[in-house]
Amino acid sequence: MHPAPSVIIFTTLSGLGFGLLYFLGFGTPDVSGITAFVFFAIAFALAIGGLLASTFHLGHPERAWKAFSQWKTSWLSREGVCAVAALSVMGLYAIGVIFLGQQWTLLGVVGSILSLATVFTTSMIYTQLKTIPRWNMWATPAMFITFSLAGGALLAGAESIAPTLLVVAAIVQLIYWVMGDNAFQNAGTDLGTATGLGNRGTVRAFEPPHTGTNYLLREFVHVVGRKHAQKLRAISFALAFVLPILLLILPADGVVLKHILALFAVMSHLTGVAVSRWLFFAQAEHVVGLYYGKR
């Protein structure tokens, strides 16, 4: 798939933002006043910024509101509904924490659940697509959710649980890559099944459908070299998981140094996740590529 910058920004930032809202809903970190305002501002900026970025991939962004009407059948609509509900509930919860010094526990828990549900619905937009075997597996929502929780814990300063969540997310990432590399082959789809001629023997294209490019080739047939992809995976894994964990467990004398290390951990994780998201789209092989001999 074509790795459009808008969807990479969307899936990276919104997951991090809703992950932070998840922890804030449970009172982590335990802050109030101006400090709480800063945490909630960061969470809302990431979540809303990511959602807005996704609209730039639409042909008519001004019609994005129509997506809410199909919530019974569309995961995209469900994502929109969950996002609005989560942001609304967490907005009310934030008012209590920031201005009233009150943590309305039930409201916070509901907001946290809705925040995680939003991340899940986002992942299901991709998981449901049987035409892209690399996405159509349980590891896709698992990756989205664990990434969101790990990033949220980092931003929330939850030092006791962040390393563990980063390790879990790292394991899920490796599982996703291993499963994804074999997904297309295991799906049993090839030019023979696509044309219905597979029972007559090996089927191959006599010649390319056309000599020029078109929309399908631009959007659904993006080829990434194996060596290039392996290098990017190593970079992504190191930045998203290894370096943040090392920065968190390093002994730090003083609050300032501790905060500096935490900031570098967050920035490293964010960069690594962005690279992982680029690979998530760039390596997603659509079955339409069979028609163009790209498999």
pLDDT at 55 over 80: no
Split at pLDDT 50, 70, 90, the class of 61 is: low
277 neighbors 240 (Cβ within 8 angstroms): no
The per-residue DSSP string of 222-269 comes to ----HHHHHHHHHHHHIIIIIHHHHHHHS---SHHHHHHHHHHHHHHH
pLDDT at 73 over 70: yes
pLDDT at 36 over 70: yes
Q: Exposed (0-12), middle (13-18) or buried (19+): which is 166, by Cβ within 10 Å?
A: buried
pLDDT of the residue at 153: 97
pLDDT at 111 over 80: yes
Tokens of 277: 């998201």
Let me know if domain 5-292 sits in CATH 1.20.1630.10: yes
